[in-house]
Amino acid sequence: MKGGGFAALLRFMTERKVVLGMAHRPGTEPPPIPTGFKGACPRCGEGHMFDGFLTVRQRCEVCDLDYGFADAADGPAVFVMFIVGFLVVGLALWVEFAYTPPIWLHVALWFPLTAIASLATIRPLKGIMIALQYHHRAEEGRLESE
């Protein structure tokens, strides 16, 4: 760091994303769907949204966004049921009419596929729902008298 003193230090710290815990420039939020799909922070796109498989963190470790606003509730589960249900029922019908396998083969094939597909889609869909809540500044509805 030659010359410039404080300005050079500030530029260095900004490039390293350590100034006040901000990992983004205001107004340059990442797109919500790919960010949520990855399970990244909806504000900076770099921090992690999840602590475990489905547990949402308290705060982003990069930009310090409070995830207290995040309430995906049953939204992702509904989408998982529609997507996985459509896929599995469609494939099961196709296999039934094309090959006419015995019932035990249907059970052995479709139950595990349903479980695996559901587990594979629930986390990305929850991340997308939370990222869209942040993007659209969603909050709990209130009555006018409140």
**CA distance linking residue 77 with residue 99, whole number of Å:** 31
Element (H, E) at 33: helix 32-38
Q: Which of 1, 46, 6, 2 is nearest to 23 (CA)?
A: 46
The answer to whether 67 touches 47, Cβ cutoff 8 Å, is no
Please report the pLDDT score of residue 21 as a whole number. 43
pTM of this structure: 0.77
Could you report the average pLDDT of every consecutive run of 10 residues in the chain (146 residues)? 52 46 64 97 96 95 94 92 98 98 98 98 97 91 76
Tokens at residue 15, please? 């490039």
Residue type, 53: F
Alpha-carbon distance of 70 to 61, in angstroms, equals 16
